[in-house]
Amino acid sequence: MNVSTILKEKGQNVITADSSLSLLDVAKILSEKGIGSIVIIDTGKKVAGILSERDIVRSLAKAGSDALTQPVSLYMTQKVVTCNCADTIDTLMSKMTSGRFRHMPVVENDELVGIVSIGDVVKQRIAQAEMETAAMRDYIATG
Ligand code: AMP
């Protein structure tokens, strides 16, 4: 099971924001879309950073309400860990666990082609475990 299995099911739509938007504008997008993290894009489809709810909390703790009118580029994480369609679910789980983040943009040829969250990974792992259990039951019943 790999990233392309997840993208086939959930689609390739990714909500993005320009790095020049203010932190408040981006917070509004997160709230309106009901998402916890947004990929920040520079030119074309190139990933410039990622901003999650956690970054907004940190920004407010650091700069107070002034942070809200400042560009999101000041507060986003710039070193984004990405994956590609061929990566396995196990690889993603271990990168998310060791990096302590819950979202990974999917990049192919330097372009953003999707996003995978920890929720998508867990859902896939449960589906896989259920399939294995059903196969074992079949094997035992027919053996
Ligand atoms: P999250 O778990 O996605 O809410 O993110 C927790 C922290 O990790 C925040 O500071 C994010 O900016 C950062 N982060 C989220 N996703 C990634 C990623 N794929 N690569 C690097 N940092 C990330």
Residue of 99, 95, 101 lying closest to 37 (CA atoms): 101
Rounded distance from Cα 127 to ligand 1 centre (Å)? 25
Q: By CB neighbour count within 10 A (0-12 exposed, 13-18 middle, 19+ buried), where does 18 fall?
A: middle
Q: For the residues of 59-73, what is the DSSP string, one character each? A: HHHHHGGGGGGSBGG
pTM of the model: 0.89
Looking at residue 42, what is its pLDDT?
84
Helix (H, G, I), strand (E, B) or coil at 96: helix
Q: What is the mean pLDDT of residues 96-119?
A: 95
Other beta carbons within 10 angstroms of residue 60's beta carbon come to: 16
Q: What is the mean pLDDT of residues 58-75?
A: 97
Counting residues of the chain whose pLDDT is more than 90, the rounded percentage is: 85
Looking at residue 1, what is its pLDDT?
84
- Return d(Cα 59, Cα 65) in angstroms, integer: 9
Q: What is the mean pLDDT of residues 60-76?
A: 97
Give yes or no for a contact between 17 and 72, defined as CB atoms under 8 angstroms apart: yes
Looking at residue 43, what is its pLDDT?
76
Please indicate whether residue 59, judged by its CB atom, sits closer than 6 Å to ligand 1.
no
The H or E element spanning position 81 is none
Please indicate whether residue 102, judged by its CB atom, sits closer than 6 Å to ligand 1.
yes
Closest residue by Cα to atom 3, ligand 1, is 102
Please indicate whether residue 124, judged by its CB atom, sits closer than 6 Å to ligand 1.
no
With the most atoms of ligand 1 within 8 angstroms of its CB, the residue from 15, 35, 37, 72 to mutate is 37
When mean pLDDT is compared across 25-29, 36-40, 81-85, 124-128, the lowest value belongs to 124-128
Please indicate whether residue 47, judged by its CB atom, sits closer than 6 Å to ligand 1.
no
Give yes or no for a contact between 16 and 38, defined as CB atoms under 8 angstroms apart: yes
Please indicate whether residue 16, judged by its CB atom, sits closer than 6 Å to ligand 1.
no
When mean pLDDT is compared across 10-19, 39-48, 102-111, the lowest value belongs to 39-48
Looking at residue 142, what is its pLDDT?
87
